[in-house]
C-alpha cells in the first residue's frame, strides 16, 4: 500500500493558499488529481490565473485546473483583496502562464475525477465551499466517492471577518451549511489552530535564502496583509500539514452547525454540551496544534519544493 494521498484541492489563491499549494504540488506523498478555483480572496478569474501561475512556476502544468464559482450561492460576493492584494498573489514576477484550464467547470471536473477514482478521495478546500456545495447538490450519487472534506474554515473561538465568523464560511455560509449537513466526514481546520500557528516575521525573512521557491514565497508572505503580533497565520497551509502530519493537531469530535443569516452569519457553532445534536457528530474539529513542530515542518518543505522544481524528485 503506497502512502501517496490522492486529493482534489479547491482554493482561492490568495497568499496562504499559494503557500499551501506550493507544498502540495511538490510533496512526494501528495498526488493532486485536480485543482479547482473559487471566488474568495479575489475574483475567480484571478484565483484561476494564480493556480496556473503556480503550476507553471513548479513545472507541474500536468496537474489539471478547472475554474469554479464566481459568486456565493446566495450572498453577494465580497473579496479580501485588502489582505491578499489586487492580484491575490502580489510581490513576485511569475513566469508567463503556459497551462490552460479544463474546458469544464470545477464542479463537473470534480464529478469526473470522483467517478473515475478507484477509491473514495479526500477533497481539501481552502476557500469558500461554493464548489463543493454545488457538487453535493448536483451529484449526490458521488458522495460515497468522497472519503472526507478537509476544510480550512470556521472557528469555535471567534471570527476574523466578524466577531464570530471566519472568512471562508462567512463568504458563503449557505454553501458551508450544505457541506456540514452532507454526511461526508469533515476535518475542520479553523482559526482555533491557524491563529496559533503563526510564522514569525524573522522566519518569513529567512525563507528568502532557500532557493527560488523560498525567494518567491518570502515575497508573497511579506506582501500578505494578515498579520498578528506574533507573526503571520498561514491558515491554508494547515490543511496540507494535517494531511501529512495529523499528529501535530489535537482534534475533538463535535456536531457543528453553520449560522446562515443575521448578525452571526458565518459562525460555526459546535454542540460542545450535547444540547441539541443528540450525540451526533459531523466534524473532527482541530482545537490545538504543536506550533514549533508546524514551523519546523514548514521550513523543511522549501528545499523539497526546489528539488521538485529542478526535477530532482
- The least CB distance from residue 155 to ligand RIB, in Å, is 8
Asked if 166 touches Ca ion (CB under 5 A), the answer is no
Which of Ca ion, ligand RIB, none lies near 166, with the C-beta cut-off 5 to 8 A by kind? Answer: ligand RIB
Nearer to Ca ion, 80 or 259 (CB): 80
Q: Let me know: does 204 contact 232? Beta carbons within 8 Å.
A: yes
CA distance 164 to 270: 12
Which residues of the shown chain bind ligand RIB in the complex (CB under 6 A)? 12, 14, 16-17, 40-41, 80, 126-127, 152, 160, 166-168, 235-236
Asked if 12 touches Ca ion (CB under 5 A), the answer is yes
Asked if 218 touches Ca ion (CB under 5 A), the answer is no
Asked if 10 touches Ca ion (CB under 5 A), the answer is no
**Which residues inside 235-264 make contact with Ca ion, applying CB under 5 A?**
236
Nearer to ligand RIB, 14 or 72 (CB): 14
CA distance 252 to 247: 13
| x-marked contacts with Ca ion along 95-134 as a string, rule CB under 5 A | -------------------------------xx-------
Nearer to Ca ion, 14 or 159 (CB): 14
- The least CB distance from residue 224 to ligand RIB, in Å, is 9
Could you tell me if residue 239 is left (phi over 0), alpha (psi between -120 and 50 degrees) or otherwise beta?
alpha
Torsion of CA 33, 86, 223, 52, to 10 degrees: 20
Which residues make Cβ contacts (< 8 Å) with residue 8, sequence separation at least 6? 32, 33, 34, 36, 110, 113, 114, 121, 122, 123, 124
Which of ligand RIB, Ca ion, none lies near 167, with the C-beta cut-off 5 to 8 A by kind? Answer: ligand RIB
Q: Let me know: does 167 contact 127? Beta carbons within 8 Å.
A: no
CA distance 40 to 72: 9
Residue 123 has a CB neighbour count (10 Å cut-off) of 26
Which cell is 42 given?
Answer: 479575489
Nearer to Ca ion, 142 or 289 (CB): 289
Nearer to ligand RIB, 41 or 306 (CB): 41
Question: Is 235 annotated in the active site?
Answer: yes
Nearer to ligand RIB, 111 or 216 (CB): 216
- The least CB distance from residue 269 to ligand RIB, in Å, is 17
- The least CB distance from residue 162 to ligand RIB, in Å, is 11
CA distance 176 to 275: 21
Q: Let me know: does 288 contact 247? Beta carbons within 8 Å.
A: no
CA distance 95 to 92: 9
Q: What is the biggest distance separating any 2 CA atoms in the chain, rounded to whole angstroms? A: 55
**Which residue is at the shortest CB distance from ligand RIB?**
167
Out of 10, 17, 79, 257, the only residue in the binding site for Ca ion (CB under 5 A) is 17
Which of Ca ion, ligand RIB, none lies near 160, with the C-beta cut-off 5 to 8 A by kind? Answer: ligand RIB
| 188 beta partners | 151, 285
Q: What are the backbone dihedrals phi and psi of residue 292, each rounded to the nearest 5 degrees, phi first?
A: -65, -40
- The least CB distance from residue 98 to ligand RIB, in Å, is 25
Q: Angle CA(46)–CA(76)–CA(35) in degrees, nearest 5?
A: 35
- The least CB distance from residue 193 to Ca ion, in Å, is 15
Asked if 226 touches Ca ion (CB under 5 A), the answer is no
List residues near Ca ion by CB under 5 A: 12, 14, 17, 126-127, 236
**Residues involved in catalysis:** 235
Amino acid at each position: 500500500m503506497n502512502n501517496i494521498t490522492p486529493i482534489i484541492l479547491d482554493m482561492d489563491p490568495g497568499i496562504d493558499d499559494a503557500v499551501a499549494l506550493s507544498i502540495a504540488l511538490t510533496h512526494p506523498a501528495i498526488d493532486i488529481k485536480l485543482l479547482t478555483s473559487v471566488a474568495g480572496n479575489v475574483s475567480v478569474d484571478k484565483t484561476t490565473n494564480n493556480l496556473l501561475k503556480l503550476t507553471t512556476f513548479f513545472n507541474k502544468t500536468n496537474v489539471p485546473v478547472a475554474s469554479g464559482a464566481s459568486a456565493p450561492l446566495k450572498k453577494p460576493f465580497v473579496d479580501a483583496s485588502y489582505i491578499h492584494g489586487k492580484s491575490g498573489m502580489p510581490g513576485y514576477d511569475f513566469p508567463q502562464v503556459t497551462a490552460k484550464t479544463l474546458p469544464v467547470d470545477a464542479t463537473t471536473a470534480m464529478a469526473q475525477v470522483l467517478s473515475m477514482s478507484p477509491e473514495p478521495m479526500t477533497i481539501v478546500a481552502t476557500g469558500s465551499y461554493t464548489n463543493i456545495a454545488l457538487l453535493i447538490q448536483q451529484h449526490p450519487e458521488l458522495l460515497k466517492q468522497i472519503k472526507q472534506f478537509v476544510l480550512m474554515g470556521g472557528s469555535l473561538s471567534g471570527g476574523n471577518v466578524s466577531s464570530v465568523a471566519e472568512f471562508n464560511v462567512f463568504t458563503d455560509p449557505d454553501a458551508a451549511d450544505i457541506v456540514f449537513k452532507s454526511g461526508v466526514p469533515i476535518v475542520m481546520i479553523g482559526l482555533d489552530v491557524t491563529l496559533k500557528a503563526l510564522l514569525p516575521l524573522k522566519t518569513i525573512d529567512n525563507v528568502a535564502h532557500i532557493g527560488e521557491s523560498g525567494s518567491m514565497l518570502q515575497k508573497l508572505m511579506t506582501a500578505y496583509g494578515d498579520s498578528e503580533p506574533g507573526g503571520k497565520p498561514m491558515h491554508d497551509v494547515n490543511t496540507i500539514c494535517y494531511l501529512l502530519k495529523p499528529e501535530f493537531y489535537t482534534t475533538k469530535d463535535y456536531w457543528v452547525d453553520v449560522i446562515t443569516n443575521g448578525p452571526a452569519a458565518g459562525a460555526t457553532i459546535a454542540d460542545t454540551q450535547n444540547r441539541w445534536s443528540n450525540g451526533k457528530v459531523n466534524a473532527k474539529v482541530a482545537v490545538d496544534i504543536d506550533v514549533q513542530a508546524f514551523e519546523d515542518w514548514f521550513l523543511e518543505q522549501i528545499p523539497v519544493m526546489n528539488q521538485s522544481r529542478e526535477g530532482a524528485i
